[in-house]
A and B are shown apart, each in its own frame.
Chain A
Amino acid sequence: DSGVTQTPKHLITATGQRVTLRCSPRSGDLSVYWYQQSLDQGLQFLIQYYNGEERAKGNILERFSAQQFPDLHSELNLSSLELGDSALYFCASSAGWDRPNTGELFFGEGSRLTVL
Chain B
Amino acid sequence: EDKVVQSPLSLVVHEGDTVTLNCSYEVTNFRSLLWYKQEKKAPTFLFMLTSSGIEKKSGRLSSILDKKELFSILNITATQTGDSAIYLCAVGWASGTYKYIFGTGTRLKVLA
Segment touching A, from B14-22, B43-51, B61-69, B77-85 = B43-51
Q: Which residues of A contact B36 (CB under 8 A)?
A: 107
Write the B8-35 contact mask toward A (1 if CB under 8 angstroms, else 0).
0000000000000000000000011010
Segment touching B, from A43-51, A61-69, A74-82 = A43-51
B92 touches A48 (CB 8 A): no
Q: Which residues of A contact B94 (CB under 8 A)?
A: 97
- What size tier do the contact residues of chain A reach? 20 to 34
B98 touches A94 (CB 8 A): yes
B42 touches A42 (CB 8 A): no
Q: Which residues of B contact A107 (CB under 8 A)?
A: 36, 42-45
Number of interface residues of B (CB under 8 A): 25
- Contact with B34, one of A31, A48, A90, A104 (Cβ below 8 angstroms): A104
- Contact with A97, one of B41, B42, B88, B97 (Cβ below 8 angstroms): B97
A55 touches B96 (CB 8 A): yes
* 9 pairs of residues in contact across A and B, judged by CB atoms under 8 Å: A2-B44, A31-B98, A42-B88, A43-B88, A43-B102, A48-B97, A102-B31, A104-B34, A109-B41
Which A positions have Cβ atoms within 8 angstroms of B? Answer: 2, 31, 33, 35, 41-43, 45, 48, 50, 55-56, 88, 90, 94, 96-97, 102-110
